Structure 1
């Protein structure tokens, strides 16, 4: 039995801009996880996927020539298995390219990235599930994958389901810690894999990609509040993609903000970090006002207002429209954290007791 886990994520800054190739974001990994467990089964037994997501479901796989396919009457993949199946398919293609014999298995996926009633917190469950699945199946197939290999394979799986995904969440679920991230050109990546194979895509240059670990700020506490309203990131990002005129200026200003934020984090400049978090929020507010995306829900506005009232920098984390917001509170003023919690609870916002999952491995 092989078991691998991957952490969830929070966007610190750079949302929306980072979906365009080469644009920038800062993210951090959090200590909520998806876990993938693989057990080999005897020859002649079907490969089966199990998941505790969406109430618990299973999917049996078969083969159509050299391809893994769902053994369902209409050969469709249920939504609950979209990313897991995509990851299994990409790993199976790589296995075949490297001349490694196939073996049947049972893969079980679980996660603690949402509420007890199944509502997601917006912590990147799809990315964490994909990264954990890639890691577990990579070991099962004996592929000897580096961290960069696992990231790239998880990207290939992710964009097979959602081509517009920035995959910043995939990066931070792979490496953990705080990361500065530049998104690759996913169209080029997908074309390389389609034309030359998965192994070639692992070795190729990915235009726009940059991954750089950042230190965890020492003078600030990262606080996370959940609005109780799950949001659809693909839907919001898709709507934003149709506002090209507004996006050009927004993207440039977002990159400038993220670059300054990265510099402040590396200098452990708490005031500078807070200033850029506030600036990132204002950029999102401007984008929301011009494009009418619904990024800032009433509870996210309340979350940010509560942060400002106690002297903290606060903003939505991710696409907005619900899910989580963050606040960075000066550790020299512990009373501010207590007051922030009280204000959030009074506004119907649930504080989430999350900590940073540490950086692991090399990015080269």
Structure 2
């Protein structure tokens, strides 16, 4: 890969949570996610003099930098590119550890994970941009990288900025399709980073981390409705976190119930039973509503409630997706059922059906 007279282009898909939200932020607790066919696209092109980072979504905030030895030196202080910069920093540390010479380049970012007017759908754009940036630079510097290593490098980069979260959205962006995800021990990672090099760290088995690809029943159809009110995940997770200290016993019960629910749902995938998956979607919805009451956080807003109830009336199983508080609701329904009436009910209520499909990552 010498000279780079061509453009490197990589894509990383967005994600939605199907079940297991909130519990998944605790070490070893499972969730089910799906990767979707909306992407962050990152391009890299070698440059001889200066580098740039440009995003279609942030036209007024292009970022310029130059090289001083191996370091990138930035011209402007304030920028919306924290995840991208973190991904670049870690990938370049990794590349340098393999003896690669640092170069200048133009990095372009384009995202279709948000609505055209810039509203967030809650599809995990910060995770997808982190994964796409790491992946693009690995290609640029000619670094062989397995999906497991890509997950670990992107997870570290994302964690450095976000500081909390389960990193399930990173897993969905890396592996694609339907996945069962159990979060790793972040305290272990914090300690391990002081002991191991990045090269070593991404080859180690991370305690409690499990990622399993799931194969859905052939007749399973996933519908996604957007309620038009973006939610701040970190804000909601923080609010629930505050309450869990005060209501420890009830929170522990929520964790136990959530873990059992997701285990049964995974069995539903393995045995190709839509009915079993639907039962657990409904059970998980009730668990999240209880958690909302316990935490005094509105996870299922009135519009998300309408989305779920209209889906139930159409023989679908529905719940909020992700942190709730707005954003998306998901419905699992048999493909053979007619969903015309359901979609009309959504449109009448001001819920936008998102025309999204599950994306498999092949490379």
Paired with 1:56 and 1:31, the residues of 2 have a C-alpha distance of 27
Residues 11 and 28, structure 1, Cα contact 8 Å, conserved in 2: yes
Deviations 1:152-210 (A, max 9, x none): 11101100111212111101111110001001112322432344221121122211100
Paired with 1:206 and 1:56, the residues of 2 have a C-alpha distance of 40
For 1:316, the equivalent position in structure 2 comes to 320
The size of the alignment, in residue pairs, is: 353
3-state secondary structure, aligned to 2:123: coil
Residues 180 and 213, structure 1, Cα contact 8 Å, conserved in 2: yes
How far 1:125 sits from its partner (Å)? Answer: 0.8
2:272 aligned residue (268, 271, 277): 268
Question: Which runs of 5 or more residues in structure 1 are unaligned?
Answer: none
For 1:241, the equivalent position in structure 2 comes to 241
Paired with 2:24 and 2:73, the residues of 1 have a C-alpha distance of 33
Paired with 1:207 and 1:67, the residues of 2 have a C-alpha distance of 33
Change beyond 3 A, Cα 1:49–1:267: same
For 2:204, the equivalent position in structure 1 comes to 204
Change beyond 3 A, Cα 1:193–1:289: same
3-state secondary structure, aligned to 2:12: strand
How far 1:339 sits from its partner (Å)? Answer: 1.3
For 2:168, the equivalent position in structure 1 comes to 168
For 1:351, the equivalent position in structure 2 comes to 353
3-state secondary structure, aligned to 1:203: coil
Paired with 2:290 and 2:74, the residues of 1 have a C-alpha distance of 44
**TM (normalized to structure 2)?**
0.93
Does structure 1 residue 300 correspond to structure 2 residue 310?
no
Does structure 1 residue 35 correspond to structure 2 residue 37?
no
How far 1:123 sits from its partner (Å)? Answer: 0.8
1:14 aligned residue (20, 29, 40): 20
Residues 16 and 237, structure 1, Cα contact 8 Å, conserved in 2: yes
Paired with 2:70 and 2:254, the residues of 1 have a C-alpha distance of 45
How far 1:329 sits from its partner (Å)? Answer: 1.5
Paired with 2:73 and 2:300, the residues of 1 have a C-alpha distance of 40
Q: Where do 4+ consecutive residues of structure 1 move more than 6 Å? A: none
- In terms of mean alpha carbon deviation, does 346-355 or 196-205 score higher? 196-205
**TM (normalized to structure 1)?**
0.93
Residues 70 and 102, structure 2, Cα contact 8 Å, conserved in 1: no
Paired with 1:111 and 1:101, the residues of 2 have a C-alpha distance of 29
For 2:149, the equivalent position in structure 1 comes to 149
Paired with 2:261 and 2:286, the residues of 1 have a C-alpha distance of 11
Deviations 1:104-139 (A, max 9, x none): 111101111111100011111111111111110011
Residues 47 and 104, structure 2, Cα contact 8 Å, conserved in 1: yes
How far 1:62 sits from its partner (Å)? Answer: 4.3
3-state secondary structure, aligned to 2:242: coil
Paired with 1:66 and 1:142, the residues of 2 have a C-alpha distance of 17
Paired with 1:339 and 1:274, the residues of 2 have a C-alpha distance of 20
3-state secondary structure, aligned to 1:228: coil
Deviations 1:4-58 (A, max 9, x none): 001111101010010111110001111100000000011xx22211112245531
Paired with 1:89 and 1:77, the residues of 2 have a C-alpha distance of 17
Paired with 2:332 and 2:89, the residues of 1 have a C-alpha distance of 40
- In terms of mean alpha carbon deviation, does 348-357 or 190-199 score higher? 190-199
Question: Which runs of 5 or more residues in structure 2 are unaligned?
Answer: 1-6
- In terms of mean alpha carbon deviation, does 321-330 or 183-192 score higher? 183-192
Residues 25 and 183, structure 2, Cα contact 8 Å, conserved in 1: yes
Q: Matches of residues 218-257 of structure 1 in structure 2 within 5 Å?
A: 218-244=218-244, 245=248, 246-257=250-261
Give the alignment's Cα RMSD to 1 decimal.
Answer: 1.5
Change beyond 3 A, Cα 1:60–1:323: same
